[in-house]
């Protein structure tokens, strides 16, 4: 199931990133003049969305479906704490771009945590 999902959403994710790479300077103006010259924010967030689409969302749902919802809750809690700490640091150093980098990174990290949990689940199930 997950491998078929990846085939479809890998292409979709790449298209999303390319779209935001090409049109981010126009799209960012929808948020107002304060964000002018911050077109890289859209690209950073689209890279984060890519991580969420490929890893966090499907694997989080799979883990919940196989009876590991506590792992999802733990993952979310750890990511929330890391996001707060790292955002505090990065916002002071890099401003709004720092917040975007942290948020996008946390999407990927959360997905990696979900992937690790899923691999552990599969190993446990194959040993039964």
Q: How much is the pLDDT for 39?
A: 67
Q: How much is the pLDDT for 110?
A: 97
Q: Within its chain, how far is the Cα of 11 from the centroid?
A: 16
**Whether pLDDT at 92 is above 70:** yes
Residue-wise pLDDT tens digits, 47-79 = 999 999 999 999 999 999 999 999 999 999 999
Residue-averaged pLDDT of the chain: 91
Burial 34-67 (b: 16+ CB within 10 A, else e): eeeebbbbbbbbbbbbbbbbbbbbbbbebbeeee
Distance CA 72, CA 25 (A): 35
- In what helix (H) or strand (E) does residue 55 lie, and over which residues does it extend? none
Distance CA 52, CA 54 (A): 6
User: What pTM does this model have?
Assistant: 0.87
């Amino acid at each position: 199931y997950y491998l078929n999902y990846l085939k479809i959403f890998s292409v979709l994710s790449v298209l999303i990133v390319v779209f935001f790479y090409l049109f981010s300077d126009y799209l960012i103006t929808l948020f107002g003049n304060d964000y002018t010259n911050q077109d890289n924010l859209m690209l950073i967030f689209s890279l984060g969305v890519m991580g969420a689409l490929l890893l966090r969302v499907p694997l989080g749902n799979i883990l919940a479906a196989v009876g590991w919802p506590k792992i999802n809750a733990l993952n979310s809690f750890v990511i929330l704490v890391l996001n707060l700490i790292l955002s505090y640091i990065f916002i002071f150093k890099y401003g709004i771009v720092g917040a975007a980098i942290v948020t996008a990174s946390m999407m990927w990290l959360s997905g990696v945590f979900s992937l690790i949990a899923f691999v552990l689940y599969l190993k446990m199930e194959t040993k039964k």
